[in-house]
Structure 1
Amino acid sequence: MKLYSILLVCSGGMSTSLLVTKMEKAAEEQGIEVKVKAIAETDLQNNLDGVQAVLLGPQVRYMLTKIKAATEPKGIPVDVISSVDYGMMKGENVLKQAISMIESK
C-alpha cells in the first residue's frame, strides 16, 4: 500500500491540527495510508524530508510564493486549502486535494 505524506502549514500549527485528525479519519475509512502533519510556517524547512505535498491554511495563503520557492526545487507541490473546506473542517475533501496533487506531479 502506498503511503501519502502530507504537510499542512498555518500560522501556528494549532488550527490545522483538528483538520489533521479529520483527514486521518477519512483516510482510514477509505483504506488509504497517510502521514499528515500540521506545522507553523516557521518550521517548514525542518519538516520537508519525505513530504509529498504541502497544503497551506487559507489564513497563510499570502505565503504561497515564498513556500513554493522552498518546496518546488525538491519537487513538492504546494496549494492552498479552500476556505470552505478549511472552515468546515472537511478532512475528506482536503485529503482528496492532497492526493490529487501527489498523483499528478
Structure 2
Amino acid sequence: MSKVNIILVCSAGMSTSLLVTKMQKAAEARGLDAHIEAIASSVAVDTLKDTPADVLLLGPQVRFLEADYKKRFNEIEVAMISPQDYGMMNGEKVLDQALSLIG
C-alpha cells in the first residue's frame, strides 16, 4: 500500500491530537507510510481543497457534519469515529477503521 492520508476532524482540532499521535505510533509499528492529521471543523472545508485525503474521519462532537461532508467530499471516504474508540483514544482501532475504508 502506498502512503495513506488520513484526516480527522473535530470541533477545535485539539482533542484529536492525542488520537493522531496514537494512530501514528500504530502505523509506524505496522511499517505503514501514513500521514495522519487533525483539523478543526471550522477550517476543514478550506483545508481539504488543498490537502489530499484518502479518508476523512469525524469525531463524535462533529457528527452533525457527516451528511454534508459526504456530499461535499464525495471522492473521499467519510465516516464517524466510534464514540467508544474516540473516548478511549484507541489509535489502533481508529487506524483499522481508516484502512478498512480505504480498501
Normalization by structure 2: what TM-score? 0.93
Structure 1 residue aligned with 2:54: 52
Structure 1 moving runs of 4+ over 3 Å: none
Structure 2 residue aligned with 1:9: 9
1:46 offset after TM fit, Å? 2.5
1:66 offset after TM fit, Å? 1.3
Describe the SS at the equivalent of 1:9. Answer: strand
Aligned residue pairs: how many? 101
* Structure 2, unpaired ranges of 5+: none
Q: CA RMSD in A?
A: 1.0
- Amino acid paired to 1:29: A
Pick one of 68, 71, 75 that aligns with 2:70: 68
* Structure 1, unpaired ranges of 5+: none
CA distance in 2, matches of 1:99, 1:23: 11
Normalization by structure 1: what TM-score? 0.91
